[in-house]
Structure 1
Amino acid sequence: MVPIPTEYRDLFEKATFAHVGTLTDDGFPHITPVWIDYDAEAERLLVNTERGRQKERNARANPAVGVSMTDPDDPYRFLSVIGEVDELTTAGARAHIDELARRYMDVEEYPNPIQTERVLLRIRPDRVL
């Protein structure tokens, strides 16, 4: 496990979009733009999704992921992470999506309908570029 360098943690405090790459059952890459967060205490990237979405199904079958993000204020500043989803959990996921909605949408509560339930993908960084 490799922590996110301190000088890049500000990327998780603003509306930085990340692209998460997972692998489908037939081995093809699936890349999705996502809201991103970081749990510095546990040293885990956090991706909030909904149960049954492709990235959630892929991560259950194969936990290997790649994450790339570009600083919205400087497109030449970026962070890439290779790691594994070491936990998929619904615990705290609903409150977390509201927290992300405040950062990304400037609203108090996530406004989109939730069809199933929210799920947190907790990603352990193994390599950071």
Structure 2
Amino acid sequence: MASIPVEFQDLFERGAPVQLATVLPDGMPHVTPVFAEYDGEHVLFNTMRGRRKERNIRNNPNVGVSVTDPDDPYRYLSISGEVVGVTEDGAVEHVHHIARKFMDVPEYPNLDDEPNPRVVVRIRPVQVRAIDEPERSD
């Protein structure tokens, strides 16, 4: 298991843009923005059961996460990982926490209108690239 370098963990605390890549059933990538946190071991995000990203990770737990510093586009994390948990336990509390932290609202909006339960997804980083300067090629 890989870990996020301490000097890059602020990206998760600042509400930096997070892009989640999952694999569609036909093998093509599916990329979507999410609010994510790092708990010192796993990257966590919240979604609704049945959404495309949740269905994708049920079929293939391999994911990618990209986090870019909003103040410096050449400082970012590129994470390859594996989903090791999807749970409804604590998911409503977690989505309200995410809303307070990243959206500056007391509760996640329109939660009562969602047709399916919320879930917390836990990603185990397998490979982490932390970049803080321009690259010439990749």
TM-score normalised by L of structure 1: 0.94
The one-letter amino acid paired with 1:101 is A
Residue by residue, what CA displacement relative to the aligned partner does 1:8-42 show, whole Å, maximum 9, x if unpaired? Answer: 111111111211111111111111011111111xx
How many residues end up aligned between the 2 structures? 127
Paired residue secondary structure (1:110): coil
Q: 1:81 aligns with which of 58, 74, 79?
A: 79
Residue by residue, what CA displacement relative to the aligned partner does 1:97-117 show, whole Å, maximum 9, x if unpaired? Answer: 111111221111111333211
1:3-42, aligned counterparts within 5 Å? Answer: 3-40=3-40
CA drift at 1:92: 1.3
Partner of residue 125, structure 1: 125
Aligned-partner Cα distance in 2 for 1:20–1:33: 6
Partner of residue 57, structure 1: 55
The one-letter amino acid paired with 2:26 is D
**Structure 1: which 4+ aligned runs deviate by more than 2 Å?**
112-115
Paired residue secondary structure (2:110): coil
The one-letter amino acid paired with 2:39 is D
Identity %: 54
Gaps of at least 5 residues in structure 2 are 130-138
Paired residue secondary structure (1:55): helix
Paired residue secondary structure (2:108): coil
Gaps of at least 5 residues in structure 1 are none
Aligned-partner Cα distance in 2 for 1:12–1:18: 8
The one-letter amino acid paired with 1:39 is D
Residue by residue, what CA displacement relative to the aligned partner does 1:78-103 show, whole Å, maximum 9, x if unpaired? Answer: 01100100111111111111111112
